[in-house]
């Protein structure tokens, strides 16, 4: 943290980015860091390859996010958040890696430690929690804008404080953020109780694909590009579908297969904590946390599902 604080003090212009398929921890952490740097008199740009999901557009600062980078030459440093590998940023990864100082803040157990400067703690609930630690160490006031963004980052990556990554420090920090202006009810309503009709129509189609394996210990769901089109839905509308499959009695691991292109599937894995799905995803070039991970696999749907089921059963 001391080296990151020194880097913030000694540099003027910062790029902030995160992974494709944005989630609450990614967007909330990016915007919290943006407000922090701006409050310190620094120049900051938030760049994402993907569009901000609709349920996070209420966050303070979303209007400043850009989705194209003409050049990175004027940036003194870059923050890469919630990424275990630079490739997770998307097509601009190699250009961003060329910035003089690249700082990675992450909490994935699969982090490669390949960045120039890393603050990685797989024991933390979220990058939002790590950023709060950094701000606390700097002695900088937490404004309402920072508090709302960090609270969103933490509440989403802990499954509303339900997941095993929730610890004593998580609640301490959440309490501090509420005191600084984060409204738990208002934030939860915007994230979880504002679903577009298209998402519910898509969910109806996806639930029809539910299958079980390994005597009911594995559940699977999948979505095709045609299903998205028929429901008028976007890929972001599938967020948390995998959690529904995990919530079923007797299920130990849930897998959700998203057709990205013909014969290319993104696989989201969720465990109830007894099976390490980061290890499973790692066999296919992916990664993540013990209880939440993802990977990308080429092949037909039946073959891809079979490979995942066999990998989970192998442990």
Report the CATH number at residue 284. 3.10.310.30
How much of the chain, in percent, has pLDDT values that exceed 70?
100
Whether residues 54 and 149 fall in one domain: yes
Number of domains comprising the chain = 2
- Average pLDDT of 154-181? 96
Q: Please list the alpha-helical segments (H only) found in the chain.
A: 2-10, 24-39, 93-97, 127-138, 144-157, 168-179, 184-192, 197-207, 225-231, 241-246, 277-282, 301-314
Nearest to 53 by CA among 253, 191, 193, 182: 191
pTM confidence score: 0.92
Cα–Cα dist 77/5, whole Å: 12
Look up the domain containing 267 and give its range.
197-314
C-beta separation of 58 from 83 below 8 A: no
Is residue 110 predicted with pLDDT exceeding 90?
A: no
Looking at residue 143, its pLDDT comes to: 98
pLDDT in tens, 122-159: 999 999 999 999 999 999 999 999 999 999 999 999 99
- Average pLDDT of 225-233? 98
pLDDT in tens, 296-307: 999 999 999 999
Looking at residue 112, its pLDDT comes to: 75
Whether residues 230 and 179 fall in one domain: no
Confidence band, pLDDT 50/70/90 cuts, at residue 52: very high
Whether residues 25 and 164 fall in one domain: yes
Whether residues 167 and 209 fall in one domain: no
Looking at residue 111, its pLDDT comes to: 83
- Average pLDDT of 29-56? 97
Looking at residue 298, its pLDDT comes to: 98
| Helix/strand/coil percent split, the chain, to 5 | 45, 20, 40
Look up the CATH number of the domain holding residue 105.
3.90.1640.10
Nearest to 306 by CA among 237, 170, 203, 213: 213
Q: Which residue has the tokens 């979303």?
A: 62
Whether residues 48 and 103 fall in one domain: yes
Nearest to 102 by CA among 92, 223, 57: 92
Looking at residue 227, its pLDDT comes to: 98
- Average pLDDT of 261-281? 96
* Window from 98-112, 208-222, 249-263 with minimum mean pLDDT: 98-112
Whether residues 203 and 175 fall in one domain: no
Confidence band, pLDDT 50/70/90 cuts, at residue 69: very high
Looking at residue 281, its pLDDT comes to: 96
Rg (CA), the chain: 19
Query: Backbone dihedral region of 240: left (phi > 0), alpha (psi from -120 to 50 degrees) or beta?
Result: left
Residues 194-229: b if buried by 16+ CB within 10 A, e if exposed: eeeeebebbbebbeebeeebeeebbbbbbbbeebbe
Is residue 116 predicted with pLDDT exceeding 90?
A: no
- Average pLDDT of 241-250? 97
Question: Domain ends where: 192, 220, 243?
Answer: 192
Looking at residue 114, its pLDDT comes to: 79
Is residue 109 predicted with pLDDT exceeding 90?
A: no
Whether residues 217 and 119 fall in one domain: no
Whether residues 155 and 234 fall in one domain: no
> Which tokens sit at 49?
């390859």
Q: Which residue has the tokens 């902030």?
A: 16
Whether residues 275 and 138 fall in one domain: no
- Average pLDDT of 158-179? 96
Whether residues 64 and 133 fall in one domain: yes
Q: DSSP string spanning 94-144?
A: HHHHTSSEEEEEE--TT----SSEEEE-TTSS-HHHHHHHHHHHHT----H
Is residue 113 predicted with pLDDT exceeding 90?
A: no
Instruction: Give φ, ψ of 131 to 5 degrees.
Output: -65, -35
Whether residues 174 and 202 fall in one domain: no
Whether residues 6 and 136 fall in one domain: yes
Confidence band, pLDDT 50/70/90 cuts, at residue 243: very high
Looking at residue 80, its pLDDT comes to: 98
Is residue 12 predicted with pLDDT exceeding 80?
A: yes
Question: Domain ends where: 148, 174, 192?
Answer: 192
Question: Domain ends where: 160, 192, 224?
Answer: 192
Is residue 34 predicted with pLDDT exceeding 80?
A: yes
């Amino acid at each position: 943290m001391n080296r990151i604080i020194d880097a913030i003090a000694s540099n003027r212009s910062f790029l902030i980015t995160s992974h494709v398929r944005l989630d609450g921890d990614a967007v909330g952490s990016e915007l919290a860091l943006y407000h922090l740097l701006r409050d310190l008199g620094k120049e900051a740009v938030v760049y994402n390859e993907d569009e901000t999901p609709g349920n996070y557009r209420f966050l303070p600062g979303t209007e400043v996010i850009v989705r194209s980078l003409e050049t990175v030459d004027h940036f003194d440093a870059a923050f890469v958040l919630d990424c275990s590998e630079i490739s997770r940023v998307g097509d601009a990864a190699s250009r961003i890696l060329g910035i003089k100082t690249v700082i990675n803040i992450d909490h994935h157990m699969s982090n490669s430690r390949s960045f120039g400067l890393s603050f990685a703690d797989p024991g933390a609930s979220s990058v939002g929690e790590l950023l709060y630690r950094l701000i606390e160490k700097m002695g900088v006031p937490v404004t309402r804008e920072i508090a709302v963004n960090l609270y969103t980052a933490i509440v989403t990556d802990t499954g509303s404080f339900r997941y095993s990554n929730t610890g004593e420090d998580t609640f301490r920090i959440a309490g501090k953020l509420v005191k600084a202006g984060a409204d738990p009810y208002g934030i939860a309503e915007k994230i979880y109780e504002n679903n577009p009709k298209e998402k519910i129509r898509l969910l109806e189609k996806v639930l029809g694909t539910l299958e079980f394996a390994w005597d009911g210990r594995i559940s699977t769901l999948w979505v095709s590009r045609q299903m998205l089109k028929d429901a008028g839905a976007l890929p972001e509308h599938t967020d948390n579908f995998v959690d529904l499959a995990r919530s079923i009695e007797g299920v130990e691991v849930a897998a959700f297969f998203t057709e990205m292109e013909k014969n290319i599937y993104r696989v989201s894995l969720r465990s109830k904590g007894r099976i390490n799905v980061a290890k499973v995803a790692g066999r296919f070039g992916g990664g993540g946390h013990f209880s939440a991970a993802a990977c990308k696999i080429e092949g037909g749907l039946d073959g891809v599902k079979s490979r995942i089921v066999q990998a989970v059963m192998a442990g």
